[in-house]
Amino acid sequence: MKVSVYNTKKEEVGTVLLPKEIFEVPINQDLVYQVVCSQMANRRQITAKAKNRAEVRGGGKKPWRQKGTGRARHGSIRSPLWKGGGVTFGPSTERVFCKKIPKQMKRKALFMALSSKAREKTLYVLEDIAAEELASLRSGPRTKVIAEILNKLFPEKDSVLMALPKKDDNLVKSIRNIANAKPALARDLNALDIFSYKYLLLPKDSIRIIKETFSK
């Protein structure tokens, strides 16, 4: 599949041939659904936690004697029946949401996600960032520089995932400061991230990295 290559001013400067085995894969919705659900589950964090009667503080002494008071018998003030006592069947940090998915399935779902972006024309190939723009990034993060590039490429300010060929801390921090954009390394791409953003922005070198990393 041939797609256009753009510069940072959204001017077409050429074309590039995308690998057929990666960017022209038919979509299997059941497979994609299974992989994306597993990736969402693996990212899930357990934040809710309630203490049971063994974890709350106090309750070492019997509140009153067993018989003769006329009141109901109790052994501890930390019983779930008491205010401030433990919680019965409350949320616990011992829950496990992780799901295992074979590597071949994850790779196949990634190819389907990339093929979907290419087919829907929501994949943009970027030739390179201009020399003067790169020079300004060498001294530190420059969110304004990256924001101007993205505004020219995507004037409607839709969400963008930018797959970088290699790690550049200043570039990553610059992209990360923009609300509707996310940086990612080409070798770490996955179906969930690709489907979470409307556009996928690939520098030309990232295509080579994807092919070397994920092709058999």
| Statement to judge: residues 69 and 36 lie in one domain | no
Give the pLDDT mean for 12-17. Answer: 89
Give the pLDDT mean for 79-99. Answer: 91
Amino acid symbol at 144: K
65 vs 12, residue with greater confidence: 65
pLDDT at position 216, please?
Answer: 66
| Statement to judge: residues 84 and 55 lie in one domain | yes
| Statement to judge: residues 158 and 173 lie in one domain | yes
pLDDT at position 195, please?
Answer: 95
| Statement to judge: residues 77 and 126 lie in one domain | no
pLDDT at position 139, please?
Answer: 67
- Is the predicted pLDDT of residue 183 greater than 90, yes or no? yes
| Statement to judge: residues 79 and 185 lie in one domain | no
| Among candidate residues 59, 77, 96, the one where a domain is terminated | 96
pLDDT at position 26, please?
Answer: 94
- What is the domain count for the chain? 2
Give the pLDDT mean for 32-47. Answer: 93
Give the pLDDT mean for 116-137. Answer: 77
Average model confidence (pLDDT) across the chain = 89
| Among candidate residues 96, 111, 130, the one where a domain is terminated | 96
Per-residue pLDDT tens digits for 132-150 = 565 566 666 778 888 888 8
| Statement to judge: residues 143 and 74 lie in one domain | no
| Statement to judge: residues 138 and 209 lie in one domain | yes
- Is the predicted pLDDT of residue 191 greater than 80, yes or no? yes
Are β-strands 181-185 and 12-17 bridged in parallel, bridged antiparallel, or unpaired?
unpaired
**Could you tell me what percent of the chain has a pLDDT over 70?**
94
pLDDT at position 59, please?
Answer: 84
| Statement to judge: residues 130 and 199 lie in one domain | yes
| Statement to judge: residues 160 and 133 lie in one domain | yes
Residues 6+ apart with CB under 8 A from 11: none
| Statement to judge: residues 179 and 81 lie in one domain | no
- Is the predicted pLDDT of residue 178 greater than 60, yes or no? yes
pLDDT at position 135, please?
Answer: 58
What CATH number did the domain enclosing 128 receive? 3.40.1370.10
Range of the domain at 63: 48-96
pLDDT at position 83, please?
Answer: 92
| Statement to judge: residues 111 and 198 lie in one domain | yes
| Statement to judge: residues 20 and 90 lie in one domain | no
